[in-house]
Amino acid sequence: MVSFAVIGHQAVTDGTFNLNDLPGSGGRMDLLCRCVQASLFLSHGIREEALCYLILAGGPGADKTVRFEGKTVRSLSPDERSSASFIKKAGVIPAGSLYRDVSPGVQVRKGGLGVLLSEQKFGILDESGIDIRQVPLSEIPDAFLLSDHQNFSSEEEEQIRNLPRFSLGPQILHADHAIVLLWNEIDRRRSEWS
Amino acid sequence: MVSFAVIGHQAVTDGTFNLNDLPGSGGRMDLLCRCVQASLFLSHGIREEALCYLILAGGPGADKTVRFEGKTVRSLSPDERSSASFIKKAGVIPAGSLYRDVSPGVQVRKGGLGVLLSEQKFGILDESGIDIRQVPLSEIPDAFLLSDHQNFSSEEEEQIRNLPRFSLGPQILHADHAIVLLWNEIDRRRSEWS
């Protein structure tokens, strides 16, 4: 399984955003939707071993996490609006501390970064990290944590300060583009490309 | 300048598609919009030397080409709907054989693949092509041609049969993901990463 978790610092938790205005009303929900797409989609299929966690941290109320699982997700299309409609549906389900089903392969729970970090060891993307191309396959994490259009907050940096850091290239990229590059590196290593 | 041209085989030419249904009414316009985003956007800026050509080949009428230029484009956001609104506007402008302005940095003309191929030498993405990581920077083209969710047609294959072919990895990816990988390769080579 390969997991990608993305913190949406302004992403609204309660599903009240407008599908016709994902960037504004959703708190850059467009970017989170493209992260789902980059995590799960091949040209003509779904990556069955992919998990994408969206941390909705823009309120109201406590953070929530929406999880998309490649193996079991149904009726998901690659366009932003498709993922967004699932996130909207997740927002109105009464969320507890355990995941609850939104639809096949999509779940929601209360809780954000803290609980996710307690469950899994993530690699962090950071321009000062080690170049991912120089890392042996055995040392490439199977989970990565990314931030949306904002940097990690100082509180988040404190929580992740001991995690390994990787860089992808000389430019600072959108989170969804970073996921594309990470998958490519994993795909190549597994197939012994280069 | 680095150019990416994407053939939208079913992408409608006349701007009549619904912004709330880009995949269906637009003929997979969502994918073309993400190609604009992948071509032009960095995390906090625009790639000024990027050009993105969308070949709308889904009728009605003759093919049209919409061109987005990083250096001059204004008011473009990374979400699909933003690019789509420019493509919609382009569709209703009477298009001639020369580019006409839709808005700053966005232009439209009649004509599709044939005229584009007569103007520029493109590299093609093909799973049987040479691995892009093995190609010296001086031999990496400054223009790439990609197809949408459909393969190149036999007629298109005939038109591009003499162009150099490159591959990006063991998986077949969406066109927008391919653009992300190409930019990363170019970014790395220019900065002498690896």
Q: What is the mean pLDDT of chain B?
A: 97
Owner of token pair 């366009």: A79
Q: What are A42's strand-pairing partners?
A: A45
Q: Is residue A78 within 8 Å of A47, Cβ to Cβ?
A: no
Percent of all residues in chain B with a pLDDT value above 90, rounded to a whole number: 97
Does A22 sit within 8 Å of B20, measured CB to CB? no
CA distance A163 to chain B (A): 23
Model confidence at A192, pLDDT cuts 50, 70, 90, reads: confident
Cβ neighbours of A187 in B, within 8 Å: 169-171
Closest residue in A to B185 (Cα–Cα)? A169
pLDDT in tens, A16-52: 999 999 999 999 999 999 999 999 999 989 999 999 9
A131/B contact by beta carbon, under 8 A: yes
Q: What is the pLDDT of residues B81-133, one digit of tens each?
A: 999 999 999 999 999 999 999 999 999 999 999 999 999 999 999 989 999 99
Q: How confident is residue B192, by pLDDT bands cut at 50, 70 and 90?
A: confident
Q: Where are the extended beta strands (E) located within B57-134?
A: 64-69, 100-103, 106-110, 123-131
CB B53 within 8 A of CB B65: yes
From the centroid of its chain, how far is CA B45?
19
Q: Which residues of B touch A37 (CB under 8 A)?
A: 34
- Shortest CA gap B177–chain A (Å): 6
Verify whether the Cβ–Cβ distance A184 to B169 is below 8 Å. yes
Interchain contact, A78 vs B194, CB within 8 Å? no
Checking if the pLDDT of B194 tops 90, the result is: no
CB B102 within 8 A of CB B123: no
B78 vs A43: CB contact, 8 Å cut-off? no
Q: What is the pLDDT of residue B10?
A: 98
Q: Does B171 touch chain A (CB under 8 A)?
A: yes
- CA A176, A127, B70, A181 dihedral sign is negative
Give the global pTM: 0.98
Chain B: give the shortest CA distance to residue A93, in Å.
24
CB-nearest partner of B38 from A80, A133, A177: A177
The CA distance from A122 to A144, in Å, is 5
Tell me if chain B has a CB within 8 Å of the CB of A18: no
Q: Is A118 on the interface with B (CB under 8 A)?
A: no
Q: Quote the minimal CA–CA distance from B98 to chain A in Å.
A: 32
Residue B12 has pLDDT above 90, yes or no: yes
Residue of A nearest to B167 (CA): A193
